[in-house]
Structure 1
Amino acid sequence: MLSICTTCGVQYDAAAQPPAHCPVCEDDRQYVNPTGQSWTTLEQVSRHHRNIFEKVAPDLYAIYTTPSFAIGQRAHLLITPGGNILWDCITNLDATTIDIINHLGGIKAIAISHPHYFSTIVEWSHAFNHAPVYVHALDAQWLGRHDPVIRLWEGAAQPLWDGIKLVLCGGHFPGANILHWPGGHNGRGVMLAGDVVQVSPDRKTVSFMYSYPNLVPLPEKDILHIQAVLQPLGYEAIYGAFGRNITAGGQQAVDFSIRRYLRIYE
């Protein structure tokens, strides 16, 4: 049995019985459901849920599940000349989803921003020719399912192709990272941010948290590190994990938001 935590949506290694614990939920960035730990399977999820594909920009699709499952995040499928990239992941994977993605050119690689979106990454990889799944080595301890398709990368950045790279930010998790797509938005650049950089409801600012559900902010040193990492990148648009995007002035929005955040520590 390949058990999936109903609260975070992460799938665990095969076992006769579900695990006794979900380390992702027991981490203080997340939470165990107050009614108790519970488990499901991909077959059960796919029976009651469907995935939506939304074209949010040229060569960029958001993929999300209805009704919402677990954390409710969105994955993004980036279409590039060198091959398609699935940025972050959702739990539900069914035949319709596989067919649509194959019609869009398949998936060459999967890249994950942090452990809350590990979901069913091995299932997705196996469905698309065992595409490599890029996870920062600093977050390896939270992997629920282990498989040779997992590529643990180290250091400050992981180049992919067409100028695209993963950039380590830290903060939300030790290995938390964003995807920088310099050719996106007519060459003005795109950041796929997950919630390592969380787009705010006003779509004009962003925020940064150690824990979103538990409302724990990041310390000043982490914000300063994120500022230093993001400043050299060029990007006009930011696409977040929950359907909130900034489509103009993204870099200015981040710069302003960091200055606003740091005023708390003055």
Structure 2
Amino acid sequence: MKNFICTTCGVQAEKSAKEPKECMICNEERQYVSPNGQTWTTLEEMIQAEKYKNEIVPAEEGLYTISTSPSFAIGQTAYLVQEKNINLLWDCITYLDPKTIGEIKKLGGIDAIALSHPHYYSAQVEWAEAFDASIYIHEDDKEWVTRPSDRIIFWSGESLELAEDIVLHRVGGHFKGAAAAHWKTGNDGKGVLLTGDIIRVVADREWVTFMYSYPNFIPLPASVVERMANQLEKIKFNRIYDAFHRIVQEDAGAAVQRSAKRYVDALNGELFET
């Protein structure tokens, strides 16, 4: 029995004797099945190949990025937030080896793992077991959990205070239970928002975007983006880190608001003529 991992999205499945026939995460319009077909691996195979390594890099005071090189599956970045009473892993990556575990334990370990949405569930149970951590997922995305665990806590409502200075907010959009993490004391007390790709920083780092499906370019309705912007306007943050280590360095709250307006204007045919 093995916990197979989809090589396209990097999400680990429940134990089975044979490879699953399909990946529930990829077989849906927000993701995709590889043109080369569905393929699987395991964490054990990845470690034995000696191909991958994780890079843990300081981003700012109290924040580290964790990413796999060479890139695997979606290639997202996870973040380790160090606060007074909690070390939080925001989002997750698939690859985990003894070297990574040792390096993170030197940084104080991981007390909790919080996820923005199902595409980054990855090998979250492996990570939780390695560090004796709890996993926080909004209950609206419960159906997308491919490897159940007693460590998973399904939270409800619009927000959850994980610690004095870290609050999860359900903002929806990309997924019904999609969440962002507000680190109130980050960026020297100005506030940081960790967004996965619920809010994606674009090529012009002064702007962000919102999508139902990024690989298939399916936009969100204008009404949903307006609701998200209204909700985020009530949260104080100066900086955004997204799932691919793109950063809005300053005045990120204003960037979200003007980006939402531009997005809505484009959908409503008010931004340009073509």
Task: Please give the range of the TM-score, normalised by the shorter of the 2 chains.
Answer: over 0.9
Contact 2:3 2:15 in 1 (8 A): yes
Task: In structure 1, give the amino acid aligned to 2:25.
Answer: V
Same amino acid, percent of matched pairs: 46
Partner of 1:124, secondary structure, is: helix
Matched, 1:251 2:253: yes
CA deviation digits over 1:28-72, x for unaligned, max 9? 100001111000000122332100112111110110000000000
Contact 2:92 2:123 in 1 (8 A): yes
Shift of 1:262: 1.3
The answer for unaligned runs of 5 or more in structure 1 is none
Partner of 1:25: 26
Contact 2:191 2:239 in 1 (8 A): yes
Contact 2:192 2:238 in 1 (8 A): yes
Normalised by the size of structure 2, how large is the TM-score? 0.95
Partner of 1:253, secondary structure, is: helix
Query: Please, what is the CA RMSD of the aligned residues?
Result: 0.8
Shift of 1:259: 1.1
Aligned equivalents of 1:204 and 1:220: distance in 2? 21
Partner of 2:36, secondary structure, is: coil
Contact 2:113 2:134 in 1 (8 A): yes
Partner of 1:37: 38
Partner of 2:163, secondary structure, is: coil
Partner of 2:16, secondary structure, is: coil
Aligned mate of 2:71, from 62, 68, 72: 68
Aligned equivalents of 1:52 and 1:201: distance in 2? 23
Shift of 1:225: 1.5
How many residues are treated as equivalent by the alignment? 265
CA deviation digits over 1:2-37, x for unaligned, max 9? 100000000000010111111100111000011110
Aligned equivalents of 1:43 and 1:204: distance in 2? 41
Task: In structure 2, give the amino acid aligned to 1:31.
Answer: Y
Aligned equivalents of 2:119 and 2:76: distance in 1? 9
Task: In structure 2, give the amino acid aligned to 1:177.
Answer: A
Shift of 1:163: 2.5
CA deviation digits over 1:77-126, x for unaligned, max 9? 00111120000000000111101110000111000000000000000000
Aligned equivalents of 1:192 and 1:37: distance in 2? 31
Shift of 1:136: 0.8
Contact 2:89 2:114 in 1 (8 A): yes
Partner of 1:262: 264
Runs of 4+ more than 2 Å apart: none
Aligned equivalents of 1:252 and 1:228: distance in 2? 12
The answer for unaligned runs of 5 or more in structure 2 is none
Partner of 1:183: 185
Task: In structure 2, give the amino acid aligned to 1:110.
Answer: I
Task: In structure 2, give the amino acid aligned to 1:124.
Answer: W
Q: How does 1:96-107 map to 2 (within 5 A)?
A: 96-107=99-110
Aligned mate of 1:242, from 235, 241, 244: 244
Partner of 1:95: 98
Aligned equivalents of 1:140 and 1:201: distance in 2? 32
Shift of 1:246: 1.1
Aligned equivalents of 1:178 and 1:45: distance in 2? 30
Normalised by the size of structure 1, how large is the TM-score? 0.98
